Structure 1
Amino acid sequence: MASEEATLDLTISGTIASLLESYRRMGIPIQRYLLGILLPAVAFFLATVGVALLVNLPLAIKVPFPLLGLLLLGAAVFYPKVRLSQRKQALNNRFHLMVTHMTVLSTTKIDRMEVFRALAEEEEYGELATEMGRVVELVDTWNLSLDDACRRRAKEVPSDALSDFFDRLAYTMGAGQRLDDYLLSEQDMIIENYKTVYEGTLGNLAVMKDLYLSMILSMTFALVFAVVLPILTGTNPMMTVSAVIVLFIFVQTGFFVAIRSLAPYDPVWYHPEEITSPMDRRINVSFAVGVVLTLVFGFISFGGFAGVSPITLNMIFFFWDPVPLSIYAVFPITPLLIPGLVIRQEEQKIKARDQEFPSFIRALGSTEGAKQSTTGAVLESLREKEFGPLSENIDNLYKRLNMRIEPEKAWRHFTAESRSYLIQTFSEMYLIGRKMGGSPKQLGELISENMNEVLQLRQQRDQETTTLIGVLYGISAAATFAFFIGLQVVNILSQMSLDLQTGSTNFEVGSLIHTSVYEIPVIEFLLITVVIFNALLSALMIRTTDGGHKLNSYMHFVALSWIGALVAIFTKFVVSSVISI
């Protein structure tokens, strides 16, 4: 017992110490934060407690007031901790790419301070670029040596990986070792650290997936209970069902936000701002067609229901009489499958190009170094080799370089056509390294090795995403099945009650089952709303986990919605058939 209390004390003291450390590192003076944020939050909480105690209101209205104040106070207290955690994740997400970029620059003929200045100007690295800028500021403004500046920033950064990197970098530079020698010798360790962080994030996503499965099963049971219970108690089912639905939506939204914050930053797509490609035109056309057809289908569905459309769903789904309510909900969104499928097809091509790029850049660097010639001359022979979906892009790059287009513009078109985030990032590294006098063979091997490591991690991420897709599709179908079993049982009992009451037997059915409190169509509408909302958030979770294009979620949204609609129809048919037998 004593050991448990000691462990609890250590946990509490550790949490408090961690919270105080986050206050110190948040970048705002603690006094200003206490007076400007924390004190008003405490005052608001006390005011809400006073309102709950002094104002004469029903208990159901009183309780939310102090809960709202407590929520605001908790947000104010823990915001620095959340902000520090976000900074740590932002530093870890791009750490591997930044170190690879630094290694490429260090192998060129520029000074080591110029390496830090170049990285500080890379907006793509976000917080990492900010940290590099702070190192440069300590050297330029405060006249510290580079190793002292790195050592000082190592004590301030929240990322353990970056802190350890700065510490070891400061030690080696202070001992007189060259920057490129250190970075080249540390590549394996840096890659292993990055893999550890990445795999740890994937492990957290796996845990979150299991928690999500447990919570959705619990909420499904609660919603079925809320549908069925009023038939015995006589309470208003609209109140119980609505309350559980709100809680269901709140839980799902919370899990989506958690998954979004845990997912590693590793996008598949590159979105150039100035250059368009044939892929952009296909995507834009498919999106426009999907949106227009969605509006048309929506008019057919709801206009036909209201009697203002010449075409109705009864004409389309003539084999159903009447057309189930769930079909009215999912029919209008069906055309969104068009842009979803187009995006999925293009994304598969991008991933195939990513697989070929390490071989291409290694061959380019080796041949360019051996022949001591320009990139255009080397590409004349390389474009004859087979690099899968990347071959067309390589051929276009050769043609642009052969037309005497500036190498920067030619490579920019190459990355814009490939639309791959990794290809754009590593191509830019190779181009800058060659421009500054780096060894092409060394650059090609370095970039190839690092990109292969990232691709291996992406395979693990794809496996985790596939598992998540299976879980989300399975739990969506199972939850819909459970929802409509409860609804159909209540619906059949209400019909049996009417038969008994209109029969010759003088029996008070209403004393046993309370079917008069139900409005079956309204409850069915609420359950279909839950199914559609579940499909939406599930699709967004899949997109967040796989790092793909935003429009890729359309395909899963439509598929999950139709699965829910068909399961609802099947469940109602099966339950009616079984009970009638």
Structure 2
Amino acid sequence: MLKRISRDLFKRDGFQEVNGFDLFYQLTYMSAVAASGISRNRIFQLGSSLPRNPAAYFDRVNLLSQTLGYDYARACSLVGLAIKSEAMVSLLLRLSNALASGQPEHEFLSEEAGVQGQLYEKEYERDLASLTKWTDAYAAVTVSASLMIIINMTSSLIYPLGDGILVGLVITAAFTAGVTAWILSRAAPKEKIDLFSKEGPWTQRTALRMALYLLPAIVVIGSLLLVLGVPISVTTLVVAVLLFPLGLVSVLAGREIDKKDREFGPFLRSLGSMAVSTGATITEALNRLDLSSFPTLESDLKRLRNRLNAAISPELCWQKFALETGSKLIGEAVTIFNDAVKLGGDPDTIAFLTADFSARTIMLRAKRKVTASTFTWLTVVMHGAVATLMVLILEIVHNFSELMNAAMPTLEPGAEAVTVPMSVFNTPEIGLYRWMTIFMVLLLSLINAGAIIATDGGHRLKLTFYLSIMLFTSGLSFLLVPPLVERIL
């Protein structure tokens, strides 16, 4: 009977796969609210309300208990036996045994949160190791794709290749580089760092406004320059210069979020300790704190303090504070801290749990930054070298073809007996090669910028910063290499 009920209840399983971070956050939240001493059904009710994939499983447990009258231990067992997610099956079955044995919920959830935090760290580090391997592979594949184009251009001087073969090789090179960048994005740890909302800090709001007006303007200006016949080198440089301010503001916004995230954990520990040691409320403890110890968060904390002193709902004040910081991590930590303290939890204990969650996440992101920073500047230098080399080979082929065409009519009839026959050389279609080179260089600019963002993990608007750098180096190659080759040859 129970098996039939379980099968009917889960025959349309709409659950989504659970990742390590979501489960870590879910357990940290539930352990924090459980530490406040609330009832078991209230713990499950709050846990099921989180906007995370694991919440759906706890919602199903709560549904079984509230509607069909099962105790929570049995409900956890039924749900655990009916779902597919291995992580949730293991967790729910252990939770079922713990509840059946009489172990307090907060003890079990606290232990599981600590274990899941360690598992998440190992999972993140494995993803970083994989990401590091793929960054090495990406550099090799990008250089190989560029060499395909270079070899095609040089070999065309000896043997005429059909246009179809040339275009096919270019498409193959572009596809190979693009697929490698996509694999790089799949290998990177999945996390959202920045919110970039209209209620965020000045840098985020400015970046959003600039993107709204500047990106369409760049498309129009770039198209107009091409229609007017402006050289591709000048057009590329103009687009790069116009993109740079948006990219710079986006990068500054990301750095500001990193600083705020690092300061928020110590702030919570100080706030919880102040509230417990003085026996004061959270608002009173905040009034007694020296906010200058948190320089990046200071302005946000002052606004939070003023709103709390104005007797505005604490929940609304903390929500507004989280939005104004622009940090996803701070928003998640605020939810844990505010909900648990509101239910009567010890501020010092809750602050410790929340700060531990925040610190683990920040430490893992710092490790990712090491890999990302190395790959970023390696890719920038590599792109400049590849773009310069491709344009250099194109101009050498172009000038050599012109020299051959100029020399053919001047050859004396008797010279054929003592020189290498000029018929062994081919005169390639330079116009097609030029557009192939331009297409490949510009496409690599976009692919390389996307690969950097996938490795870094920041907001997509930061792509404009790296794209502007790639386009600027490409434009310099288009502008400076041709006259240099002409002088040499």
**TM-score under structure 1 length normalisation:** 0.75
State the shift of 1:242 in Å: 1.5
How far does the alpha carbon of each residue in 1:301-321 deviate from its partner, in whole angstroms, 9 at most, with x for none? 33542xxxxxxx6xxxxxxxx
Aligned 8 A contact 2:291 2:301 in 1: no
State the shift of 1:288 in Å: 4.9
Q: Where does structure 1 lack aligned partners over 5 or more consecutive residues?
A: 1-26, 30-82, 306-312, 314-322
Indicate the residue corresponding to 1:239 in structure 2.
164
Change (3 A) 1:531 1:158: farther
Structure 2 residue 103 is the aligned partner of structure 1 residue 103: no
How far does the alpha carbon of each residue in 1:106-164 deviate from its partner, in whole angstroms, 9 at most, with x for none? 112322232222222222x1x22222223334434555443344345445656554444
Once residues 316 and 362 of structure 2 are traced to their aligned partners in structure 1, the CA distance between those partners, rounded to angstroms, is 27
Once residues 257 and 296 of structure 1 are traced to their aligned partners in structure 2, the CA distance between those partners, rounded to angstroms, is 29
Change (3 A) 1:426 1:459: same
Indicate the residue corresponding to 1:263 in structure 2.
188
Indicate the residue corresponding to 1:226 in structure 2.
152
How far does the alpha carbon of each residue in 1:442-490 deviate from its partner, in whole angstroms, 9 at most, with x for none? 1011111221111100101111211221332233223223322432232
Q: For residue 113 of structure 1, give the secondary structure of its aligned residue in structure 2.
A: helix
State the shift of 1:395 in Å: 0.9
Q: Where does structure 2 lack aligned partners over 5 or more consecutive residues?
A: 1-9
Q: What residue identity is the alignment partner of 1:265?
A: K
Change (3 A) 1:467 1:161: farther
Q: Which of 407, 410, 426 is equivalent to 1:514?
A: 426
Aligned 8 A contact 2:77 2:92 in 1: yes
Aligned 8 A contact 1:228 1:486 in 2: yes
Q: What residue identity is the alignment partner of 2:45?
A: R
Q: Which of 243, 246, 252 is equivalent to 2:177?
A: 252
Aligned 8 A contact 1:501 1:509 in 2: no
Q: For residue 460 of structure 2, give the secondary structure of its aligned residue in structure 1.
A: coil
Once residues 457 and 510 of structure 1 are traced to their aligned partners in structure 2, the CA distance between those partners, rounded to angstroms, is 63
State the shift of 1:178 in Å: 0.6
Indicate the residue corresponding to 2:387 in structure 1.
480
Structure 2 residue 208 is the aligned partner of structure 1 residue 208: no
Indicate the residue corresponding to 1:135 in structure 2.
61
State the shift of 1:239 in Å: 2.3
Change (3 A) 1:293 1:254: same
Once residues 554 and 257 of structure 1 are traced to their aligned partners in structure 2, the CA distance between those partners, rounded to angstroms, is 18
Indicate the residue corresponding to 1:497 in structure 2.
404
Once residues 411 and 375 of structure 1 are traced to their aligned partners in structure 2, the CA distance between those partners, rounded to angstroms, is 11
- Give me the identity figure in percent: 20
Aligned 8 A contact 2:200 2:326 in 1: no
State the shift of 1:248 in Å: 2.1
Q: Which of 327, 340, 362 is equivalent to 2:234?
A: 327
Once residues 483 and 155 of structure 1 are traced to their aligned partners in structure 2, the CA distance between those partners, rounded to angstroms, is 59
**Where does 1:182-193 land on structure 2 (aligned, <5 Å)?**
182-193=108-119
Once residues 23 and 282 of structure 2 are traced to their aligned partners in structure 1, the CA distance between those partners, rounded to angstroms, is 29
Q: For residue 231 of structure 1, give the secondary structure of its aligned residue in structure 2.
A: coil
Indicate the residue corresponding to 1:536 in structure 2.
446
Of the structure 1 ranges 158-167 and 443-452, higher mean CA displacement relative to structure 2 is found in 158-167
Indicate the residue corresponding to 1:548 in structure 2.
458
Of the structure 1 ranges 364-373 and 152-161, higher mean CA displacement relative to structure 2 is found in 152-161
**TM-score under structure 2 length normalisation:** 0.88
Q: For residue 193 of structure 2, give the secondary structure of its aligned residue in structure 1.
A: coil
Q: For residue 329 of structure 2, give the secondary structure of its aligned residue in structure 1.
A: helix
Q: For residue 127 of structure 2, give the secondary structure of its aligned residue in structure 1.
A: helix
Indicate the residue corresponding to 1:363 in structure 2.
270
Once residues 383 and 102 of structure 2 are traced to their aligned partners in structure 1, the CA distance between those partners, rounded to angstroms, is 61
State the shift of 1:264 in Å: 2.1
Once residues 175 and 28 of structure 1 are traced to their aligned partners in structure 2, the CA distance between those partners, rounded to angstroms, is 30
Aligned 8 A contact 1:270 1:424 in 2: no
Change (3 A) 1:528 1:155: farther
Q: How many residues align?
A: 476
Aligned 8 A contact 1:94 1:265 in 2: no
Change (3 A) 1:476 1:483: same
Q: Which of 369, 379, 382 is equivalent to 2:286?
A: 379
State the shift of 1:411 in Å: 1.1
Change (3 A) 1:197 1:161: farther
Once residues 522 and 183 of structure 1 are traced to their aligned partners in structure 2, the CA distance between those partners, rounded to angstroms, is 65
Indicate the residue corresponding to 2:3 in structure 1.
none
Indicate the residue corresponding to 1:12 in structure 2.
none
CA RMSD, Structure 1 to Structure 2 (Å): 2.9
State the shift of 1:570 in Å: 4.6
**Where does 1:138-217 land on structure 2 (aligned, <5 Å)?**
138-141=64-67, 143-154=69-80, 160-217=86-143
